[in-house]
C-alpha cells in the first residue's frame, strides 16, 4: 500500500473543497431566516414554504419536467437508432454527413443552436411553446445518447445477434430480444443524460420558448439576474438533493450489479471445470 504524499493529500482536499464548498454554502444559506442572504439570522425553513406557494415556479417546474420526460424519451429512441446506424450500417450514401451531424451539436455553442432553431421555427410558422422546446431538446440530446449507446455497441458481440437470427428470429426480434437487453444500461444512462440536459438547459430553451411556456431554468435565470435570493437557494437545495440521491443510488446499484456479475462468472467458470 502506497501512502498519499502531503502534496497529493493537499491537492485532493483543496480540490474537493473547491468543488463542494460553494454548493454546501448555498444549501446552508437556504435555511437562513434573514432575507439578506449574507447575514445569518438563525435556522428557518420558511423559504421552502414560500417556494411551495410560488405558483410561477411550480408551473415552470411542471413544464420543465414534462419537456424533459418527453424529449429525453424521443432522444433515446432516435439516438439509439442513430448509434445503430453508425456502428452497424456500414457504408451508405451520406454517411460522413450523418456522423458529422451527430457530433457537431456536441461542440456547437448553445447560443448558435438556439438561434438557428428559433429562426427555423419562425420560418415555418410554428408557434413557440412546449412543442418547440421538446423539438429543440430532442435534437441536441439525441446526439449525446447516440455517443453513449454507440460506445457500448462497438464492444457488443455481433455473433449473438446472428445466432438469434439463425434460430429463427427476424432482425427486429433479435434486436429486441438479444441486443436491447445487453445494451440496456447504456440506453438507460443515455436517457438519464438526455433528461438532465433538458432539465438544465437555459440557453436553447430561452430561444425556443414562447411567452406561455417558461421552463424552470428560464425562471431561475430571470430571478437571479436581479441578485441572490433565499427562495432560489431553497430551490437549488431541492435540486441538488434530488441529483445527489439519484447519482449515489445509481452508483450503488451499478456496484452491486458488478459484484453479482463477477460472482456469476466465477460460478460459471467453476461449473465449467
Site string for other proteins, 58-97 (x = CB under 8 A): --------------------xx-xx-xx---x--x-x---
Residues 35-54 that bind other proteins (CB under 8 A): 36-39
User: Which grid cell is 75?
Assistant: 432522444
> Which of the ranges 48-56, 157-165, 181-189, 236-244 carries the binding residues for other proteins, by CB under 8 A?
236-244
Q: How far is the CB of 30 from other proteins (least distance, A)?
A: 10
Q: Taking CB under 8 A as the rule, does residue 2 contact other proteins?
A: yes
Q: How far is the CB of 193 from other proteins (least distance, A)?
A: 9
CA–CA separation, 158 vs 91, rounded Å?
Answer: 17
CB nearer to other proteins: pick between 246 and 267: 246
Residues 155-214 that bind other proteins (CB under 8 A): 171-172, 196, 199-200, 202-203, 207
CA angle centred on 99, ends 94 and 102, rounded to 5°? 130
CA–CA separation, 54 vs 230, rounded Å?
Answer: 13
- Is-contact 230 32, C-beta < 8 A? yes
- Is-contact 133 205, C-beta < 8 A? yes
CA–CA separation, 82 vs 91, rounded Å?
Answer: 14
Q: How far is the CB of 273 from other proteins (least distance, A)?
A: 29
C-alpha pair distances (Å), 122 with each of 127, 128, 129, 210? 7, 8, 12, 11
- Is-contact 235 51, C-beta < 8 A? yes
> Which of the ranges 48-56, 99-107, 157-165, 260-268 carries the binding residues for other proteins, by CB under 8 A?
99-107
Site string for other proteins, 121-160 (x = CB under 8 A): -xx-----------xx-xx--x---x--------------
Q: How far is the CB of 270 from other proteins (least distance, A)?
A: 26
Amino acid at each position: 500500500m502506497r501512502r498519499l504524499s502531503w502534496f497529493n493529500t493537499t491537492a485532493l482536499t483543496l480540490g474537493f473543497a473547491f468543488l463542494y464548498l460553494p454548493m454546501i454554502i448555498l444549501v446552508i444559506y437556504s435555511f437562513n431566516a434573514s432575507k439578506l442572504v449574507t447575514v445569518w439570522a438563525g435556522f428557518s425553513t420558511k423559504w421552502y414554504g414560500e417556494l411551495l406557494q410560488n405558483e410561477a415556479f411550480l408551473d415552470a417546474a411542471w413544464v420543465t419536467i414534462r419537456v424533459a420526460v418527453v424529449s429525453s424519451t424521443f432522444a433515446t429512441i432516435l439516438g439509439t437508432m442513430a448509434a445503430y446506424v453508425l456502428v452497424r450500417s456500414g457504408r451508405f450514401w451520406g454517411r460522413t454527413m450523418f456522423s458529422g451531424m451527430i457530433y457537431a451539436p456536441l461542440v456547437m455553442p448553445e447560443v448558435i443552436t438556439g438561434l438557428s432553431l428559433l429562426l427555423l421555427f419562425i420560418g415555418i410558422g410554428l408557434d413557440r411553446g412546449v412543442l418547440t422546446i421538446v423539438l429543440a431538446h430532442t435534437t441536441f440530446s439525441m446526439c449525446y445518447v447516440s455517443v453513449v449507446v454507440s460506445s457500448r455497441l462497438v464492444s457488443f458481440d455481433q455473433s449473438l445477434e446472428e445466432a438469434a437470427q439463425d434460430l429463427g428470429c427476424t432482425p427486429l426480434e433479435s434486436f429486441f430480444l438479444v441486443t436491447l437487453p445487453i445494451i440496456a444500461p447504456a440506453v438507460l444512462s443515455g436517457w438519464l443524460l438526455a433528461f438532465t440536459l433538458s432539465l438544465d438547459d437555459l440557453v436553447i430553451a430561452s430561444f425556443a420558448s414562447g411567452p406561455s411556456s417558461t421552463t424552470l431554468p428560464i425562471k431561475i435565470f430571470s430571478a437571479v439576474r436581479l441578485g441572490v435570493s433565499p427562495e432560489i437557494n431553497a430551490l437549488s437545495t431541492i435540486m441538488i438533493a434530488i441529483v445527489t440521491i439519484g447519482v449515489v443510488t445509481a452508483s450503488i446499484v451499478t456496484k452491486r450489479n458488478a459484484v453479482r456479475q463477477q460472482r456469476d462468472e466465477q460460478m460459471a467458470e467453476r461449473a465449467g471445470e
